[in-house]
Structure 1
Amino acid sequence: MLSALARAATRRPLTVMLLWGLFLLLGFGLGTGVFARLSDNVPEVPGTESQSAAEYLERADPAGESISGVVAGTAVADPELRAEVGRAVADVRAVEGVAAVPDPYTTRGLTAEDGRALIIPVTLKGGLDDDAQERTLDAAADRLREIDAPDVHVSGGPLLGQQLGERAQEDVKFAEIVSLPVVLALLLVVFGGLRSALMPLVIAISGIAGAFLALFAFSEVTDISVYAIQVTTMLGLGLAVDYALLMLMRFKEERRHTEDVVEAVHRTVGAAGRTVLFSGLTVAVSLTGLLVFPSVFLRSMGLAVAAVVVIDMLAALTLLPALLARFGGRIAPAKERPEGEEGRFFARLARFAARRRIAVLAVAVPVLLVLAFPLAGMKIAIGDARQLPTDTEARQLHDTVIEHFPPGTGVTPVTVVVRPSADPAATDAIRALSPNTAVRELPGGATVLQIQPPGEADGDEATGLVERVREVRGDEAVEVTGPAARLVDFRDMLAERAPWAAVTVLAGIFVLLFAFTGSVLLPLRTVATTLLSLAAALGVVVWVFQDGHLAGLLGAEGLGALSLTAPPLIVAIAFGLAMDYELFILARMREARQRTGDDGEAVVDGLRRSGRVVTCAALLLAIVFAAFMTGGFSPILQIGLGLTLAVLIDATVVQMLLVPATMSLLGRHAWWAPAPLRKVHDRFGLSEEPEEAPRPRVPSGV
């Protein structure tokens, strides 16, 4: 298969480049339309009680969306300002599609006690189509912003989604502007030539175009989260550079053994291309775990990110060989170095870890476990506007309300839907739980109880209230919805489906690693060390963003919980990325073992020949992730930090120390498989490495 891809790419390189050029135009043309389709409805889970209750309310009493304007920074009782606000309220009421705008001066709770702020809620009519709703929102928001006051902020409802989408687009552009020149500069250092350095960026740009196009395609059939843009773009950019770096370094090495450029490309695709193929499949399989969850958000993220990974993989296996066939003759071969000089540092590191394997394990494993310790207290929450950068309008509105109004102002209540068939005693029991309960009757006989929770909408008090309501109602036809109920249902969904997701991913990873190595022990060892590094990275994220340690250095603050989006995405993506570097090293170890038959030399030679690639790739990927952390959006900061740490910990502690130490500890048993499975691998395992010119044996020293 890989040989056929290589032949096709090198036989008609201009055709391949033209096809990818059209793909780029499509991605940056049609694909960017996804920015107008982003949704912030992350916690919705079809089939849960909270979703069922929300759908029932929508059918029984359709209500329109709502937004809020906040006027602050001056005495709101000033006659001129009061007249200005009165005119704005009248104008907004006259906007087609607006259902209600209360007078903030005569409606209780809308004017701050300190007299320096007021809230103007705007409720839209129900049943508006998307275009009409957007026109109404824009007209109402624009008119409120015209109020002549020091501070006027408008956000909430669908407007919040629009603002987040615009911010996501700005952050992606800024991250690309920051990361691409830095990545190019490092690639120039690595390759020593502009032509070689530009090729990974061409693949990276293809990955970005693929990210936009994949998201746009999925937006036709499902909601796409505001988080998807940054996550898929950062991963598409990073993996593309990784794969291109591996292929180019192998190409420069193969050029030392043949002057025929096409032959060097074929040998590169046969060897490094095999690693890229398995790496891409491994990352994609890691993301399939997200498909086990019924959450639309997690499923769409899993599909979109997996699609981007596959696009990166295909670009590395088709576009890059075409570019090399066309321009590779001008790329200088890797320099010949005296025997023992190439990869000397990594060879010494491998020998040290192999000789001191027990000591390495005794130090590295406890250190990683200490870093992972905060994970035991991890909490997740939907979050509020504090997750946003301080310069966003939604965050400024939130901060103004917190500053001027009593705690709980604007907090969405816990909503209880009591169906007509429910025992009236259940309603009385639920009302007794809190004095802050509002009651209204719905058409058809149902009753809605809105209980104002203390603290935040998804805080511990609110979620505890949801659980008490569900405990008190018994078997009656009573359902709970609202942010707190959605969070409780989301947590329950994660707890219920996480074991199945883990089994799905681990089974797929085991099959792929067995097909790659022919061993049953190496997949088990790889999964164990990967989970260890992943737990350490996630533990640090909890320590920073949940507990608040050093969060200010990243422009964030401790929120008491992680965004519910961060842990599943960090686990799924980082697990796949860790497999990347593991495969880079195992591929070289496997080649050395097949060539020499010496297990000790295979460990040293594998790290000698792959250490530089892994180090450079990890550094470049970390730079890409760090660039996406400049936006200040807390969930993206959490995901970016988690992935950066996971990559760096895996590429250093795990791959440079734990891998040679554990490989040395296992010895020849590392490559063991039962006879029946060995026959299966011999028959079906993918093995397309080109034959290499024999190299002199290098004493392993282990």
Structure 2
Amino acid sequence: MRKSLGSLSNFIYRHAKLTILLVLLIAGVIGSIALYQGPNFSDAGLEMKGTESQTALNIVKKDFSSVSSKNATEKVVFRAKSGKLTNADKDYAINQFVQKVMQDKDVKVVMTPAQQKNMVKKNTIGYATIVYKQKKANLKQSSVSHALTAVKKTRTAGIQTELTGDLTINQMDTGERSEVYGLIAAIVILAITFSSFAIAGLPILSAIIGLAVSVLGIIILSHHITFVSSDLSLSGMIGLAVGIDYALFIISRYQQEFKKGLSRKNALAKSMTTAGKSVVFAGLTVIVALLAMSVLGISFLSVMGIAGAISVLFALLTSLTFVPAMIILLGAFATGEKPNRFLKVFSKANKNYGWGKFVYKYKFLLAIASVGLLIVTAIPFSHINLGLPTDGNKSTKFTERRAYDLMKEGYGDGNSATLVVLVHTNNQAKAISAYNEIKSNKNVSSTTPPMSGNGKSGNYFMLTVTPKTDGNNIATKKLVNKIRSQSEKSGIPKLLVTGSTAINIDMSDALMKALPKFAAIIIVFAFLLLMVVFRSLMIPTVAVGGFVLSLLATLGALTFIVQDGHMQNLLGLTGKSAILNFAPVLVIGILFGLAMDYEVFLVSRIREVYNQTKDNKKAVLEGLKSSGKAVFAAALIMTAVFMGFVFAGDSTVKSIGIVLTLGILFDAFIVRMILVPAMIAIFENKNWYLPKWLDKILPHIDVE
């Protein structure tokens, strides 16, 4: 690899402009193909094949097609601000609303609260249901306009009117604005790091090009792989962050080598064969970590991992081509010969090994404090509750959230958590017996009588159950399990539970069960990888131990904030909620990749100096001074980019932003910048011990 990167460096040095032209040309070709084909993203929800709820849902669609319409629907919730919905003026306004909605040619039928007999709270709250002729994916923007125009009829008549369902009423911020905020923060951090605004823009530009190409590539692949639009947000988060980081590491090493007296050509070659090799190794590690999510056998996680891996791949390629070419064209601006005087003041903090000396002097205290902090922070993880965001997690600025609150007020917490129960029998008396048994559960608010199916899948009766608690509540999960366990009682036929709530519960349970397996695979892989790279037993032990502690601390802090409801206002959260069910798996995959990035960049430099001097203290001091500065800046950039997504409007994107921000804070700043160098300082020469018999059988990988 060293030879290949050296040859690439020489080519780029001689043909910098041609390299940039080729990068832009490739981007243009991919962009043209993407624009010609157009996107083909799926609107399918998260689902898992093979679960009981998914199997039962397939039966419902086949045997109860008359009540399981695939048509899109919209629920319009009314609340009379004064009087009742049955008053003449309110009734007239609702009828006017219906007439206006029916002007939409795509509307099949509108059912009023009176027709559905669903008015509650002394006839002050009720809801209408709009049924469309199309599926959700085929709804037009004109239907949204019709609905929004129609609700003016009731709102002006003193009726609070909110909408929820399949129409996309609000174009929510899924991260695009947040990326801009993250970029602004990244520019400031890079400008301070390099003491120059000119060179600060290069990592940003490189990351944007890599991100753009990866998004276009995903658009092309969307015709062959079932991507959903939210996959782009994850791809954007990772691609932008690692793209900036990789460019930063190469530029930082280039400046270090140039300041040693090397020519620009030799400095570029040295940075490409050292930092460039580390970038390749780190990038491939992140890609492997993301693709490893496919071992869980959960399709949407596999696709999510593919989207993230694509963004990392293009970030890697642009950092190894576009960045070195721009370094040559920028000349003195890239070497650090023309620093900005104002910014230079901020870059002197680490000049005299300040942080390294501090860590080395208080190594025992810092190691104990770091481990203690991580353990204490991890404690809330013991009661983590997984689920999926609901409209109740959105801001009150959105009509869907206000509709959720109205439905909750009028129909109880469980109104949106309806369960569908299939009774496997051809005996109506047994179906009624099961109905009575289910109805007797303390957490059941209401139950519909059983109705028979068409018998295509066998003999089934179907009934719906509305719990008293919402879909993410532990009590609802217990109710689902209790109904299923009632099948074992004498005289009760087999009961299958489905519906979106049951599907989400099954998915959360499956993900929680898969978590230890995935974590074990990642941990073993990390240990073996680092043992091969650093020819050591102690280095991978500390690195993996730190990774486990930072992971548990991340999930503990996430539980403390999101589930337990602390610091909600600070992060723009709207109340307590369950933890996004795939967040733990996602954070393991991404955090592992980033943790290995920083571990390799930092420890490879420490080992490089140690091999040259055999002085452990000097190795730690020099490693923290050179690579530590770059790692610190990179972690700040990661934090800024991920933190931006915390304030996105989409609750799923917000959850991912929070968990990744916490992950970087714990792993990069506490584990990699404090715990790892402190432990290296404590163990001294023992860090590099590896039994001779093991050294002989392990392959050699040089990333220095």
* Fold shared by both chains (TM-score > 0.5): yes
SS in 2 for 1:321: helix
Q: Decide which of 359, 375, 379 is 1:373's aligned counterpart.
A: 379
Root-mean-square deviation over aligned CA pairs: 3.2
SS in 1 for 2:256: helix
1:647 aligns with 2:650: no
CA 1:653–1:242 in 2, change beyond 3 Å: closer, same or farther? same
1: CA distance, partners of 2:500 / 2:135: 24
Q: Decide which of 418, 423, 438 is 2:423's aligned counterpart.
A: 418
CA 1:640–1:456 in 2, change beyond 3 Å: closer, same or farther? same
For 1:654-669, list aligned pairs within 5 A: 654-669=671-686
Superposed displacement of residue 268, structure 1 = 0.8
2: CA distance, partners of 1:323 / 1:473: 68
User: Do the aligned residues in 1 keep the contact of 2:53 with 2:498 (CA within 8 Å)?
Assistant: yes
User: Do the aligned residues in 1 keep the contact of 2:39 with 2:222 (CA within 8 Å)?
Assistant: no
Report the TM-score when normalising by structure 2.
0.87
Partner of 1:443: 454
1:613 aligns with 2:618: no
Partner of 2:544: 527
**Which amino acid in the other structure matches residue 370 of structure 1?**
V
Q: Decide which of 232, 244, 256 is 1:241's aligned counterpart.
A: 244
Q: Decide which of 399, 408, 411 is 1:393's aligned counterpart.
A: 399
2: CA distance, partners of 1:389 / 1:672: 55
1: CA distance, partners of 2:469 / 2:691: 59
**Which amino acid in the other structure matches residue 41 of structure 1?**
G
Partner of 2:481: 467
SS in 1 for 2:438: coil
Over residues 71-97 of structure 1, what are the superposed CA-to-partner deviations in whole Å (9 max), with x where a residue is unaligned? 446453454443342243245457555
**Which amino acid in the other structure matches residue 393 of structure 1?**
T
Partner of 1:557: 574
Q: Decide which of 591, 598, 616 is 1:599's aligned counterpart.
A: 616
1: CA distance, partners of 2:164 / 2:686: 61
SS in 2 for 1:479: strand
Partner of 2:165: 156
Partner of 1:67: 74
1: CA distance, partners of 2:201 / 2:502: 50
**Which amino acid in the other structure matches residue 579 of structure 1?**
M
Superposed displacement of residue 623, structure 1 = 1.4
Partner of 2:97: 88
Superposed displacement of residue 249, structure 1 = 1.1
CA 1:434–1:249 in 2, change beyond 3 Å: closer, same or farther? same
Matched residues, number: 672
1: CA distance, partners of 2:427 / 2:22: 63
Partner of 1:507: 524
1:265 aligns with 2:275: no
User: Do the aligned residues in 1 keep the contact of 2:96 with 2:153 (CA within 8 Å)?
Assistant: no
CA 1:526–1:335 in 2, change beyond 3 Å: closer, same or farther? farther
Partner of 1:120: 128
CA 1:386–1:35 in 2, change beyond 3 Å: closer, same or farther? farther
Partner of 1:695: none
**Which amino acid in the other structure matches residue 193 of structure 2?**
V
Q: Decide which of 504, 509, 512 is 1:487's aligned counterpart.
A: 504
2: CA distance, partners of 1:155 / 1:685: 56
2: CA distance, partners of 1:396 / 1:280: 44
Over residues 605-653 of structure 1, what are the superposed CA-to-partner deviations in whole Å (9 max), with x where a residue is unaligned? 2112222112211112211122222224443333223222322233332
2: CA distance, partners of 1:374 / 1:496: 18
Over residues 532-560 of structure 1, what are the superposed CA-to-partner deviations in whole Å (9 max), with x where a residue is unaligned? 12222221111111111111222213424
Partner of 1:332: 335
CA 1:554–1:31 in 2, change beyond 3 Å: closer, same or farther? farther
1:671 aligns with 2:678: no
Over residues 166-200 of structure 1, what are the superposed CA-to-partner deviations in whole Å (9 max), with x where a residue is unaligned? 31xx3433113323233223322222323311111
Partner of 1:693: none
SS in 2 for 1:235: helix
CA 1:11–1:117 in 2, change beyond 3 Å: closer, same or farther? farther
Partner of 2:215: 212
For 1:4-15, list aligned pairs within 5 A: 4-15=7-18
SS in 2 for 1:685: coil
1:406 aligns with 2:411: yes
User: Do the aligned residues in 2 keep the contact of 1:513 with 1:523 (CA within 8 Å)?
Assistant: yes
**Which amino acid in the other structure matches residue 404 of structure 2?**
H
SS in 2 for 1:118: strand
SS in 1 for 2:252: helix
User: Do the aligned residues in 2 keep the contact of 1:72 with 1:117 (CA within 8 Å)?
Assistant: yes
Superposed displacement of residue 562, structure 1 = 1.3
User: Do the aligned residues in 1 keep the contact of 2:210 with 2:239 (CA within 8 Å)?
Assistant: yes
How many percent of aligned residue pairs carry the same amino acid?
26
1: CA distance, partners of 2:661 / 2:29: 30
Superposed displacement of residue 5, structure 1 = 3.4
Over residues 104-154 of structure 1, what are the superposed CA-to-partner deviations in whole Å (9 max), with x where a residue is unaligned? 224211x342554431112345xx567654479547635644534154332
Partner of 2:654: 637
1: CA distance, partners of 2:625 / 2:329: 30
CA 1:421–1:605 in 2, change beyond 3 Å: closer, same or farther? farther
CA 1:40–1:130 in 2, change beyond 3 Å: closer, same or farther? closer
SS in 1 for 2:113: coil
1: CA distance, partners of 2:330 / 2:351: 32
Superposed displacement of residue 472, structure 1 = 1.2
Superposed displacement of residue 511, structure 1 = 3.8
User: Do the aligned residues in 2 keep the contact of 1:208 with 1:236 (CA within 8 Å)?
Assistant: yes
Moved more, 282-291 or 446-455: 282-291
User: Do the aligned residues in 1 keep the contact of 2:73 with 2:132 (CA within 8 Å)?
Assistant: yes
Partner of 2:515: 498
User: Do the aligned residues in 2 keep the contact of 1:34 with 1:216 (CA within 8 Å)?
Assistant: yes
1: CA distance, partners of 2:24 / 2:586: 31
Instruction: Give the gaps of 5 or more residues in structure 2.
Output: 340-346, 441-445
2: CA distance, partners of 1:672 / 1:38: 52
SS in 1 for 2:416: coil
2: CA distance, partners of 1:236 / 1:95: 42
Moved more, 47-56 or 514-523: 514-523
SS in 1 for 2:335: coil
Superposed displacement of residue 503, structure 1 = 3.1
Partner of 1:699: none
User: Do the aligned residues in 2 keep the contact of 1:293 with 1:493 (CA within 8 Å)?
Assistant: no
1:542 aligns with 2:554: no
